[in-house]
Amino acid sequence: MKYELYYWPGIQGRGEFVRLALEQADAAYVDVARGKNGEAKLMRVLEDKAIAQPGYAPPLLKAGSLHLAQTANILFFLGARHGLAPKTESGRLWTNQLQLTIADLVEEVHGTHHPIASSLYYEDQKDEAKRAATAFVRERIPKYLGYFERVLARNRGRQGVLVGSRLTYADLSLFQVVDGLRYAFPHAMRRAEKETPRVVALHDVVRRQPKIAAYLASTRRMPRSENGLFRRYPELDA
Ligand SMILES: N[C@@H](CCC(=O)N[C@@H](CS)C(=O)NCC(=O)O)C(=O)O
C-alpha cells in the first residue's frame, strides 16, 4: 500500500511535518497535489461526500481505507506504524503532547504574518503583523525553544533526543521548526539559539540522519518561499 499525502502544492507548510516522517520511515507515498492536476485532486478529496470522516484542512493522509487529518494525529498514526514513537502508552502520549505544543507554535508563526485573517493578504495586515511579530520574536521564540531545551535536558533515555532513547517524529518536527524559524527570523534566532544549545544540536542530529539528508538534498524538498508558513519578511525580524 502506498500512502497518499494531500497538501497544498508548492509550499512546505504543515505538510512538511508529515513528509519528514514518511521520509525517515522510508515509507512509500505519493505527494498527490504535487503531481498532474494536483490541486484539483486535493479539492476533490476535501469535497468528497463518500468520505464518512472528512478532514477539515490539509495535510490529509490516506492510508488504505483510513482518511486522516490534523498533522499531530497523522504523526501519531505514522509514529506507531513505523517505529517513530515509543511503544508504551505513556511514551506515545508524551510524544503526542510535544507534537501538539509544536502545533501551537506553528499556529503562532502563522499569526505573525496573518494576525487578522488568513483570507487577507499580508500587505493588508502589515501593521498588525509587525505588532504580533514583535511579541513573538521577543517572548514566544525564547519561551518555546526554552521549553524544548528543558525537555531535552530532562530526558533520561538518551542525550540528544526529546523522548526516550530513539528518534521520534517530534524530533523531526522540532528540526523543521528550527529550520523554518532560522529562515523567517534569522536575527531573533541567532539570539535565541545561544540559550538553547540542545535544541541546536538536535537540529543537527536530525539533519544528518541518512534518510533525512538524502531527502533534503532531493527535489522532493521544496525551497522556502513567502507563500509558506515560515516567511522571511525582514521587517518582522526585529
Ligand atoms: N491544526 C491543523 C491545521 C490545518 C491547517 O490550518 N491547514 C491549512 C494549511 S497549512 C489550511 O489549509 N487551512 C484552511 C483553513 O483553515 O480553512 C493541522 O495541524 O493540521
Q: 3-class secondary structure for 39-89?
A: HHHHHHHHHCCCCCCCCCCCCEEEECCEEEECHHHHHHHHHHHCCCCCCCH
Q: Is the CB of 103 under 6 A from ligand 1?
A: yes
Distance 57 CA to ligand 1 centre (A): 5
To test the ligand 1 pocket, which listed residue (5, 8, 14) has its Cβ within 8 A of the most ligand atoms? 14
64: left (phi over 0), alpha (psi -120 to 50) or beta: left
Task: Write down the pLDDT at residue 157.
Answer: 79
Asked if 128 contacts 200 with a C-beta cutoff of 8 angstroms, the reply is no
Q: Which residues pair with 107 in a beta bridge?
A: none
Task: Write down the pLDDT at residue 41.
Answer: 97
Cα dist from 216 to 25, 147, 183, 224, 230, whole Å: 15, 27, 15, 12, 17
Task: Write down the pLDDT at residue 94.
Answer: 98
Query: By alpha-carbon position, which residue is closest to atom 5 of ligand 1?
Result: 57
Grid cell at residue 57: 484542512
Whole-model pTM: value is 0.97
Mean pLDDT, consecutive 10-residue stretches, the chain (238 aa), reads: 96 98 98 96 97 97 97 98 98 98 98 98 97 98 98 90 97 98 98 98 98 98 96 94
Task: Write down the pLDDT at residue 117.
Answer: 98
Q: Is the CB of 70 under 6 A from ligand 1?
A: yes
Atom of ligand 1 nearest to the CA of 72: 19
Distance 109 CA to ligand 1 centre (A): 13
- Give 38's contacts (C-beta < 8 A, 6+ positions apart): 9, 32
Atom of ligand 1 nearest to the CA of 13: 10
Task: Write down the pLDDT at residue 113.
Answer: 98
Element (H, E) at 177: helix 169-184
Grid cell at residue 73: 494525529
To test the ligand 1 pocket, which listed residue (56, 70, 99, 222) has its Cβ within 8 A of the most ligand atoms? 56
- Give 65's contacts (C-beta < 8 A, 6+ positions apart): none
Q: 157 phi and psi, to 5 degrees?
A: -70, -65
The β-bridge relationship of strands 29-31 and 66-69 is unpaired
Task: Write down the pLDDT at residue 59.
Answer: 98
Atom of ligand 1 nearest to the CA of 106: 19
Distance 161 CA to ligand 1 centre (A): 27
- Give 199's contacts (C-beta < 8 A, 6+ positions apart): 145, 148, 149, 152, 174, 178, 193
Q: Is the CB of 12 under 6 A from ligand 1?
A: no
Query: By alpha-carbon position, which residue is closest to atom 17 of ligand 1?
Result: 57
Q: Is the CB of 99 under 6 A from ligand 1?
A: no
What is the spatial distance between Cα 45 and Cα 43, in angstroms, rounded to a whole number?
Answer: 5
What is the spatial distance between Cα 115 and Cα 108, in angstroms, rounded to a whole number?
Answer: 9
